[in-house]
Structure 1
Amino acid sequence: MASSDASPSIGDLHGKDFDRFLSSVNSFGKYHKLVLAFVFLPAVLPGSFHGFNQVFLAAKPQNFWCRLQNTSSMPEVVLTGAIANLSTATTEDQKHCTMPDTAANAPSLWSNGSQMLRPEGTNSSSVPCQYGWEYDRAFYNNSIVTEWNLVCEKSYYPTIALIVLLMGATCGTPLFGLIGDRWGRKRAYVICMCIAQTAGIATAFSPDFIIFCVCRFFVGATYPSAWSLPFTLSMEMISAKQRATFGTAASIAYCLGSLVVVAIAYLVQDWRQFALATSIPLCYVFLSWYFMPESARWLLSRHRVDEVEAFFSKVAKCNKTEFNTDLLKGILRDNTSRDISEKENYSYWDLFQTPNMRKKSLLLCAVNCANLTVYLGLSYYSPSLGSNPWISYTLAALMEVPAYVLVYLTADRVGRRLPTVVFLLVGGFVLLGTCIVPTSNSTTLLVLGLIGKLCISTSFTFGEIYEQELFPTVVRSQGSAFTQYVSNACACVFPVIMYLGENYVAYPVIIFGILSVAAGCSALFLPETLDTDLPQTLEDGEKFGENMPWRDVFRFLPRRPRDTASETVMETRPKGTIVRTNL
């Protein structure tokens, strides 16, 4: 970092990339700390609010039974026992979804106000519930399941609602990625939040399940981008040394958001009020948007030199550093004359035009597919693993905190690649271990699920950092959006996987374990990005990690510059052509 009383010379800065002259005005000074803490960290919270509130909007009570006609005067505990005594059902589904045909005349069987008796000779056959259902409200008071009776033959409706949410993410993510690269990260974020807030508030007024799904589709179209856009913008305004630190801080903020969601759900147990309580307070983001800077890297890639200069002037003034304005303008104009700006508009096709970019894009898709599917799966399924859904969900969310601390402690020491591989493999094998645990042992299942959640949260964070460091600036937002698009498309199957838990509680966890192990093996073929500058152009992105030898595939620790003579740096020749030279 530059000192406050030293101004870099032309020899120091000329021809160096964005990270070099970012350091000249202090790449992590007062300005960056204030903006990151009070603008960008709050900006990632809506992603967790809108992403996880459906856990409780569509919460299913642990127990329910057929409602009897004219039984309002019966104590609930006696009524529940009455149905059990009358029913001849042999399966859990039958116990919840059928009633004895004599129950239509249940009041005539009421004796002494204390028990339900079966008269001799009555028909004991069962029929579907005739008068609706009564629900055990020990944990959930009112959700869409209890209000619209989404049980028995409609038990798959909450699964459909979750699939619709993820289908929205699949459709919306590439759109906002395109907007972010074409018209700026800041503008894309405000459009995203306008849609998210409108759909989130409209959810509370849904008159039926169809309208609810429509609202959730638009919420789903925005919540991944509500996280990724401010995250991308933040990573582009800080240097390599601070990326892991901020990635950890952003992930912890996201985790705190999910904990706030469960706290609100516990206090506000009516799903309509809960939908409002997790949407209206998020309107603060429109105030923070006013103070949100546009990405200087993106502005540079769009030839907007004057705005880049204004950004650095503001940063230097706040950080109390000095730099030569004419020198900076010359450097920026020199950079815009390079092939960084030869092309006005980039598309998703640019991710696949060259072999190395194509390989890295597909590998990132594979890793992030598993990360997202398993992370969301364990987050949504955790209430089913323990005896108390509130405690299970809270513990699963809390497991993310030590995961992010692990990221902070290891990212700048052992790199990104090794932890990603290790935590995916370890987490996968732990989840596979649930296949030997009896379903009655809910505590052991919960513990194994929590360890898996810790591992997948760690690998997820490394995957997010990986995305920002492997994709070049000109397609970074689209690259991140593409991996999210594929990940969300694959994650659409996790509600179906969760539905398998209706038959055997460990089925979903075992499948999540298989996905984690497969992704861990795929991550071996990604290059290490520790202590590297963010690539700016497509050429930079193609050359980074090109022709990766097998010894690097199985290398456990990253190579440092002092460990090899083949490290390369970017150098600019007088005509602005980029070449690579050996140190």
Structure 2
Amino acid sequence: MDLDNLLPDVGEYGTYQKRLLWFVLLPCVLPCGFHAYNQLFMAASPQHWCYVPELKHLDIKEAKQLSIPKSNNGKLSQCLMYDRNYTAIASFPNESVPLGKAVPCKYGWTFDHSEYKETIVTEWNLVCNKDFYPTGALVLLAIGGLIGNYIFGYIQDGLGRKPAFFIYLFIETVFGIGTAFMNSFWSWVLFRFGVGFTVPAILATPYVLSIELVGPEYRTTVTILINIAYSIALTLLACIVYLVRDWRLLALYTSVPFAFFFFYLRDMPESPRWLLARGSYAKAEKILNKMAKVNNKPIPPDWFSRKKGECDKIIHDVEDKKHYGVTDLFRTPNLRKKTLIITFIWFTNTSVYVGLSYYAPLLGGNEFLNFFLAGAVELPTYLILWPAMEHWGRRCALSSSMIFGGLSCVLTIFNQENEFGTWLGLVLYCCGKMGISCSYVVLPLFASELYPTVVRGLGMSTSAVVGMLGPIFIPLLNYMGGELPLLVMGVLLLLGGIATLFLPETHHLHLPQTIEDAENFGNSKSKTSTSTKWNSERNDRQQILSSVPSWRYKYKLRQSRDYFREGRKKIASNRGLLRNVGLRRGKKPRT
């Protein structure tokens, strides 16, 4: 027996889970949302042009006309100036002075501070021959996340969900605050690497903990709420940047408040599901008793002792091997196939989600508004996604959202360079963002239900680590500009949507606990053994049917109806088959 069998007695989604979710787990989503994208605004590059000290007394527009040549696109250059005698121009403004040739800026740059008071670009002149530095910093941030995600998986499965979160919260807070006091670009990059070490790994604990504390029917609810909190974090970040507009203050405002999260040390529990899988019965019993008390679910004093015997088989399966590694994810063929597919889809989702978020400032117009809309456009998708996940399941929701988002991104290559094309491009971008937002919600839930408890954190972290390879290259792709980034991201989404169809459905099914459970789950060769191992007969039938195409199920249903028409005698002869597959119309199978 696993926690899914214990939760009905203590409450699957009662007051205990709701309080924990709303007052602890949802706020713990904010650190990841803030630190994943605040660097975009710290390293924002405003409009700039060559500084000419002799012309500083002139109007900006007039000074530009005298000193700045035009680029090939007809706009004033941001990196070149005329090599002229500006002293003579300033002394004798009415005299004609030869333009001279265009040369790189000699005296630095003048920046437009109408949108940003100060960024690292304006403070350290990271433009022209240094304009790649902010992009390189994003790459290093992603490399930090790649390393941090890998280590986080071992910490989360080895020490527990709770210690892993607070270790990473400490690292993120210290390096986030320290960022504000850096006086050179390379020291700033070092501290941002430290912040990147925790992103997005720190999001895994509130997500996994919320999933593991509720019953199967409520996983969709908590998943949607976690992602709503993340989208709200993005919109809040846009508001903070709009009000602050200074990179040092932004670093402080998005880091200092999270130091108060250490007060959650007492309130955040360890995952009882993880404790049961590890054989820590005493700690699990304490949490479950508190859960039952808060949820007003009276249980007898010996309740857990009686239930404990039912858990012995699972513990027997894992007691000989307490420590798991990445190789265990590839040890058996069915789990290996699911791991490879999940990892590819994770790579696709992470690459495109981060890529589209990074692309928002490149859309033109107000950068704050663009980023705000990029986060806000995610919220309406949950109104569609919530019933879709409940009605059609995880696999259909994930595949359809990725294909929809992929088509939207690919269609941007047909835009024309006019006002209509600009608006059409914005609409297609928003559609692509909605599609990837939907799939980004479904994927972690889907993956957490496919990986077994003993390697769930490790499996998700491994997939996320490979996924973090995408954000390493995405800044380089966006640096190239144009529609190429959207085209590449669209193709990735389409491939990911097709790959999803090769995974089994998990909706309303018990989470696999052991490697053997995960291997049997969705494996057509193990239907009988799986149904005898798990207790809920309804879930067993759904599990069997999820591993075969829907057309085969409908064919069997039509076939069984024909049997009914042929007479009760023939039905009786096939009753055993009908009871196991669960196809008797209008009746529940007998036990």
TM-score by length of 1: 0.88
Question: What is the CA-CA distance between 1:208 and the residue it aligns to?
Answer: 1.2
CA 1:208/1:240 → structure 2, altered by over 3 Å: closer, same or farther? Answer: same
The residue number in structure 2 matching 1:382 is 360
The residue number in structure 2 matching 1:38 is 23
Q: For residues 29-178 of structure 1, what are the structure 2 equivalents within 5 Å? A: 29-61=14-46, 63-84=47-68, 87=69, 89-90=71-72, 95-102=77-84, 105-110=85-90, 119-120=96-97, 122-178=98-154
Q: Which amino acid aligns with 1:446?
A: L
Partners of 1:274 and 1:582 in 2: CA distance: 63
Partners of 2:549 and 2:94 in 1: CA distance: 71
Report SS of the residue matched to 2:54. Answer: coil
The residue number in structure 2 matching 1:212 is 188
CA 1:65/1:290 → structure 2, altered by over 3 Å: closer, same or farther? Answer: same
Cα deviation 1:150-178 (Å, max 9, x = unaligned) = 11111111110000010001000011110
Question: What is the CA-CA distance between 1:556 and the residue it aligns to?
Answer: 8.5
Question: What is the CA-CA distance between 1:356 and the residue it aligns to?
Answer: 0.9
Question: What is the CA-CA distance between 1:332 and the residue it aligns to?
Answer: 2.4
CA 1:529/1:558 → structure 2, altered by over 3 Å: closer, same or farther? Answer: farther
Partners of 1:51 and 1:279 in 2: CA distance: 12
CA 1:333/1:111 → structure 2, altered by over 3 Å: closer, same or farther? Answer: farther
Conservation of the 8 A alpha-carbon contact between 1:98 and 1:127:
yes
2:394 aligned with 1:416: yes
Partners of 2:221 and 2:546 in 1: CA distance: 29
Q: How many residues align?
A: 543
Cα deviation 1:42-67 (Å, max 9, x = unaligned) = 11111101111111111121x21111
Q: Which amino acid aligns with 1:233?
A: L
Partners of 2:169 and 2:553 in 1: CA distance: 39
Normalized per residue, which structure has more helix? 2
Partners of 2:204 and 2:240 in 1: CA distance: 24
Conservation of the 8 A alpha-carbon contact between 2:154 and 2:458:
yes
Partners of 1:281 and 1:147 in 2: CA distance: 26
RMSD: 2.6
Partners of 2:327 and 2:269 in 1: CA distance: 28
2:412 aligned with 1:434: yes
Cα deviation 1:465-506 (Å, max 9, x = unaligned) = 1111111110011111011100002321100110010xxx21
Q: Which stretch shows the higher mean deviation, 70-79 or 138-147? A: 70-79
Question: What is the CA-CA distance between 1:405 and the residue it aligns to?
Answer: 2.3
Conservation of the 8 A alpha-carbon contact between 1:386 and 1:442:
no
Q: For residues 101-500 of structure 1, what are the structure 2 equivalents within 5 Å? A: 101-102=83-84, 105-110=85-90, 119-120=96-97, 122-336=98-312, 337-440=315-418, 441-500=421-480
Conservation of the 8 A alpha-carbon contact between 2:505 and 2:546:
no
CA 1:144/1:566 → structure 2, altered by over 3 Å: closer, same or farther? Answer: farther
Partners of 1:219 and 1:22 in 2: CA distance: 37
Cα deviation 1:196-239 (Å, max 9, x = unaligned) = 00111111112111111111111111021211112111111111
Question: What is the CA-CA distance between 1:124 and the residue it aligns to?
Answer: 2.2
Q: Which stretch shows the higher mean deviation, 435-444 or 367-376? A: 435-444
Cα deviation 1:356-399 (Å, max 9, x = unaligned) = 11111111111111111111111111121132212211111111
Question: What is the CA-CA distance between 1:547 and the residue it aligns to?
Answer: 4.0
Q: Which stretch shows the higher mean deviation, 433-442 or 298-307? A: 433-442
Q: For residues 563-574 of structure 1, what are the structure 2 equivalents within 5 Å? A: none
Q: For residues 525-564 of structure 1, what are the structure 2 equivalents within 5 Å? A: 525-547=502-524, 555=550
Conservation of the 8 A alpha-carbon contact between 1:201 and 1:280:
yes
Cα deviation 1:295-346 (Å, max 9, x = unaligned) = 0011112211111111111011111112233231242254144314332111
CA 1:467/1:72 → structure 2, altered by over 3 Å: closer, same or farther? Answer: same
Conservation of the 8 A alpha-carbon contact between 1:470 and 1:535:
yes
Partners of 2:553 and 2:451 in 1: CA distance: 19
Q: Which stretch shows the higher mean deviation, 72-81 or 543-552? A: 543-552
Partners of 2:502 and 2:280 in 1: CA distance: 37
TM-score by length of 2: 0.87
Q: Which stretch shows the higher mean deviation, 318-327 or 304-313? A: 318-327
Conservation of the 8 A alpha-carbon contact between 2:2 and 2:273:
no
Q: Which stretch shows the higher mean deviation, 218-227 or 191-200? A: 218-227
Partners of 2:386 and 2:116 in 1: CA distance: 37
Conservation of the 8 A alpha-carbon contact between 2:169 and 2:202:
yes
The residue number in structure 2 matching 1:577 is none
Conservation of the 8 A alpha-carbon contact between 1:421 and 1:524:
yes
Conservation of the 8 A alpha-carbon contact between 1:60 and 1:143:
yes
Question: What is the CA-CA distance between 1:271 and the residue it aligns to?
Answer: 0.5
Partners of 2:147 and 2:321 in 1: CA distance: 26
2:2 aligned with 1:17: yes
CA 1:565/1:226 → structure 2, altered by over 3 Å: closer, same or farther? Answer: farther
Q: Which amino acid aligns with 2:51?
A: R
Partners of 1:123 and 1:474 in 2: CA distance: 72
CA 1:339/1:582 → structure 2, altered by over 3 Å: closer, same or farther? Answer: farther
